Amino acid sequence: MMSTLRETSRRLMCATGSASVFVFDSRRNQKKIKTLAKPVAHGDAVSPLSGKRVLLRSFLTTMLLLFHVNAFGDEFTIKLDNGDTATLTARFAGEGRKATALEMPDGGWKLIPSDRIQQRTSGPDPKPLTHDELLQQINEEFSATRTISNIDKPFVIVLVRARPGALDPAVEKRYQNVVKKAGTFFKGMQTNFLEFVKQARIETQAVKFPLVALIFESDRHFDAYTARVTEDQGGLSSPNIAAFYDLQTNRLVIRLSECTTFDTPLHEAVHQQVYNRGILNRFAPIPSWFNEGIATGFEGDGDRVRSGPKSISDRYGQMALRARVVTWTEIVARDQPFQGDVLAAEAYGHAWGLHWLLVTKYRAEYNVLVKHYSGKKPLELDRPDERVAEFERIVGKSVPELQREFQLELPRAMARRKN
């Protein structure tokens, strides 16, 4: 069915305390993982809340840019490292774990150590930037002579070229096609995604901000950008990352080399949808199995997008059935299995499998489960010790029992499909 899919390793970093949701193409580890199965790999990020000083520094670098934005909203007076104060207009998005999340007019969130906020004056919410305004902001960030863009609402897709200046017309045409194709793919994924949430009776909201996708022509520039936006997590080493969705900037960040099948970018774009349609709160303690399960339900093969978590995925289904080390109880209880290069293949397979079983056989329970995770607040403290109990209470069955059911059901469903 999806035999043309390139094997991809992924790594999600949306676990407890991490700043961003990242998916990695684990190129460096591909050989090692290939011997296991169709691979997927995950990892965790350093908590953004652990590096207050760094956080403030990166905050300062963007401060001037933000002051240009003429918007309404609460005014926050913030104490800077050098003792000065600065005033920032933003929407208060949440507080916890000693940090305050402020939502900016471009949809990005700033995490400010709460003890640095000296004063807050109420005002109406800032007006989200329009697609054109956001594109202009990106053009200023990277220089308009380096960007090739396509606004395909709600998406703003920008290809950042390796260098500015005139382009060979053939290359220019190719790049125009890339941003156009990206728009078509993201829209296709969005249509399938909205159909899935409608069928699952999941409440959604209209997207509030334009959804940005940045495509880097140069791997070196992709690496540098990734290191910069993850500075408050210690600057991620990025040669293994193919694409990621960043919870802080709300952007999809993609290597141009991934824009052939769009497999990994599509997976990332599902995370972006989930966090921009009011289904989950950014920086809320959402288990990785839930985040990854929903995203693995959508796959692309360069021509089309598979319909959603209710369809059988040959790739992830096989991974789940072949798994010998990781169990469903482990992925419900903890995010760690998603973070190793080897065990992650099994964890991703299980995340898909658990989601598939729930959306096909436990629809009512799945709906309550989604509401439960939707209720988790930004920066809320994670309680891994409660995860299995709350899951079993909602679904009404033990996790091992569900896994046994899946091991019987999936091969049957696969056989039915082939007949």
Q: Which residues contact Zn ion (rule: CB under 5 A)? A: 12, 23, 292, 295
Nearer to Zn ion, 10 or 161 (CB): 10
Q: What is the DSSP string of 245-263?
A: E-TTT--EEEEGGGTTT-H
Structure tokens at 70: 């003429």
Produce one character per residue of 222-257: b if its CB has 16 or more CB atoms within 10 Å, e if not: bbebbeebbbbbeebebebbbbbbbbbbbbbbbbbe
CB 282 within 8 A of CB 288: no
Min separation Cβ 138 and Zn ion, Å: 24
Q: What is the DSSP string of 29-74?
A: GHHHHHTTSS---------GGG-HHHHHHHHHHHHHHHHT----SE
Min separation Cβ 271 and Zn ion, Å: 6
Min separation Cβ 129 and Zn ion, Å: 26
Nearer to Zn ion, 217 or 292 (CB): 292
State how far the Cα of 21 lies from the Cα of 38, in Å rounded to an integer: 21
State how far the Cα of 419 lies from the Cα of 417, in Å rounded to an integer: 6
Min separation Cβ 179 and Zn ion, Å: 23
Angle at 104 between CA 100 and CA 110, to 5 degrees: 35
Min separation Cβ 141 and Zn ion, Å: 26
Nearer to Zn ion, 12 or 55 (CB): 12
Distance from CA of residue 391 to its chain's centroid?
Answer: 23
In this structure, the number of other CB atoms found within 10 A of the CB of residue 29 comes to 19
Nearer to Zn ion, 135 or 344 (CB): 344
Min separation Cβ 98 and Zn ion, Å: 27
Nearer to Zn ion, 112 or 269 (CB): 269
CB 30 within 8 A of CB 254: no
CA distances from 167 to 91, 164, 334 (A): 41, 9, 49
Nearer to Zn ion, 56 or 354 (CB): 354
Min separation Cβ 43 and Zn ion, Å: 12
Min separation Cβ 23 and Zn ion, Å: 4
Structure tokens at 202: 């999941």
Nearer to Zn ion, 182 or 295 (CB): 295
Nearer to Zn ion, 286 or 359 (CB): 286
3-state secondary structure of 154: coil
